[in-house]
Amino acid sequence: MKHPITPEATYLNRRAFMRAGVVAATAVATGAIYRKFNRVSSGGAQTAQLADLLTPPATGPIAAASESSGFTVNEARTPFDAITHYNNFYEFSTDKEEVAEAAAKFDTSDWRVAIEGRAAKPRTFDLDDLLKISPPEERVYRMRCVEGWSMVIPWAGFSLSKLLERVEPLSGAKYAAFETLVDPKRMPGQRARVLSWPYVEGLRMDEAMHPLTLLASGLYGRALPPQDGAPLRLVVPWKYGFKGIKSIVKISLVETQPKTTWSDFAADEYGFYANVNPQVDHPRWSQATEQRIGESGRRKTLMFNGYAEQVASLYSSMDLRANY
């Protein structure tokens, strides 16, 4: 009873089956390609807990003093996972969501920081010695990125002034110039010349000595994760985030205004001062509002990122539109 020809019903069934297979296979392939480019981020490795962290109490006179000095801001803290998986750190990747993974194995052992230039006692510190200058304090700062988003970050560290005082700046020290490590083997993003390496930043001396200017070595009570600038970074809360240079290897005290990476890249878009200012727009986008990470909608950006009371006097004689 064998048919030489496949019955029509069987043929159609088989065809329907094959077609379903084609649809499923192509859809899975498309999905796989989408996933390759849009990976779901994972928790990642945890860094060590900081043993000697000084945390101000939540209430009382010390808490009030901490708030009025700007050391602690009473706003919801951005989750750790967001702070460690949304990073602008071009030395590892220009994709904010890729930095954590690209930096995961960054080796910071035997880290040294050279303090040189116009100082009576210039010196190169081993990281451990440098961190012994002062116990880390918890500082909860707003962080406003020039791209128009912001976070609230509990940093750990001490005022940069404490380090600079150790080397005894001379009267010729008008500016502090900072430099990030250059090592394309450890920082794969440096293989492409997206920016000119090393990343360099600078502050006027009075800005560098301001108590709010923080040399951070930790985050959420733990050692700084690589993607956030391990082992040592700058945090200047009233300036756009790119002023907060990461993975610092050198600080020079100099007489003239130093070159800074972003203003060197596009001087009309990024200035030396880069103070957060809702009235001075970036040439391509507004700076009046910001997207606070974790919130929906946009909130108004504050003058000097909300630190006007502490820092406005530094710029009292300056035209902030010209000196953006």
Partner 1 sequence: MKDTRFARFVVIVNGAVPLALLCWDAYRHQLGANPVNFAIRTTGMMTLILLPLSLLVTPVKKLTGWNWLFPFRRTLGLYAFFYACCHFTLFFGLDQSFDVSRTIGEMVKRPYLVVGSIGLLCLIPLALTSTKNAIKRLGSKRWQALHRLAYVAAVAGVVHYYMLVKADVRQPIAFAVVVTLLLGFRIVDAVRRRAARESKISAA
153 and 291 Cβ atoms separated by less than 8 Å: no
Q: For partner 1, which is the closer residue by CB, 26 or 257?
A: 26
Q: How far is the CB of 255 from partner 1 (least distance, A)?
A: 29
Q: Which is nearer to partner 1, 108 or 291 (CB)?
A: 291
Residues 73, 86 contacting (CB under 8 angstroms):
no
CB of 57 to partner 1, least distance (A): 29
Which residues in this chain contact partner 1 in the complex, by CB under 8 A?
19, 22-23, 26-27, 30-31, 34-35, 38, 40-41, 81-83, 85-86, 90, 94, 96-97, 147, 149, 192, 194-195, 265, 284-286, 291, 293-294, 296-298
| Alpha helices, DSSP H, located in 151-306 | 160-167, 205-208, 261-265
What is the closest distance, in whole angstroms, from the C-beta atom of residue 37 to partner 1 in the complex? 8
Closest separation between CB of residue 59 and partner 1, Å?
30
Which DSSP helix (H) or strand (E) runs through 214?
A: strand 214-219
Residue 159 forms beta bridges with which residues? Answer: 214
Q: Which segments of 168-304 does DSSP mark as H helices, in order?
A: 205-208, 261-265
- Give the shortest CB-320-to-partner 1 separation in angstroms: 20
The helix/strand/coil state of 116 is strand
Closest distance between partner 1 and the C-beta of residue 27, in Å?
A: 5
Those residues with Cβ within 8 angstroms of residue 88's Cβ, 6 or more apart along the chain or in another chain: 96, 99, 145, 147, 241, 242
Question: In whole angstroms, how close is the CB of 304 to partner 1 at the nearest point?
Answer: 23
Nearer to partner 1, 266 or 318 (CB): 266
Residue 54 tokens read as 């000084």
Give 81 or 126: the residue with its C-beta nearer to partner 1.
81
**Cis previous bond, 122, omega within 30:** no
CA–CA separation, 235 and 258 (whole Å): 18
> 92: Cβ–Cβ under 8 A, 6 or more apart, which residues?
98, 99, 102, 103, 106, 187, 188, 189, 226, 227
Q: Which is nearer to partner 1, 22 or 51 (CB)?
A: 22
Query: Which C-beta is closer to partner 1: that of 15 or that of 112?
Result: 15
63 vs 182 by CB, closer to partner 1: 182
